[in-house]
Amino acid sequence: MTPAPLSFTGPPVRPVKKDDLMSRVCELTGKGPMTGNNVSHANNKTRRRFLPNLNDVTLQSEALGRGFKFRISAAALRTVDHRGGLDKFMAKAKDSDLSANALKVKKAISKASDGAEALS
């Protein structure tokens, strides 16, 4: 007799790797490493990587009244400041650019702001 096939309801589970936890990708903009060449005076070309300027920051949400830790690029930090804070940045951010953690925060902020609009 052959055993019955196993059935799983969710996506396959894979072990967590160190690269998953410390990837060199901005959580808010999706900016990651780029490749290029080192070019010497003799015009010799060797491959190199341009890494984004990532910083660990805690950004405050006015709608939720608490802070969230992100690993974002310096350019993203300036953009958050320019747009007027985390809540306004998340309102305009594309879901495809955000990390899974940032997407959860975006949904929580939009839910809280929708509830605040309904009360007023």
pLDDT exceeds 60 at position 16 = no
Q: HSE-up of 86 (CA within 13 Å, CB side)?
A: 27
Predicted local confidence at residue 117, as pLDDT: 67
CA-wise closest residue to 29 among 91, 108, 94, 88: 94
* 120 assigned to some structural domain: no
What pTM value is reported for the model?
0.74
* 72 assigned to some structural domain: yes
Domain count along the chain: 1
* 82 assigned to some structural domain: yes
Any bridge partners for residue 67, and if so which?
Answer: 60
pLDDT exceeds 80 at position 32 = yes
- In order of 26, 52, 76, 96, 118, the CA distances from 56 in angstroms are 10, 13, 12, 21, 34
CATH number at residue 104: 2.30.170.40
Domain span at 100: 34-112
Contact 16, 6 (CB under 8 A): no
pLDDT exceeds 70 at position 104 = yes
Q: What is the mean pLDDT of residues 78-101?
A: 96
* 73 assigned to some structural domain: yes
pLDDT tens for residues 34-72? 999 999 999 999 999 999 999 999 999 999 999 999 999
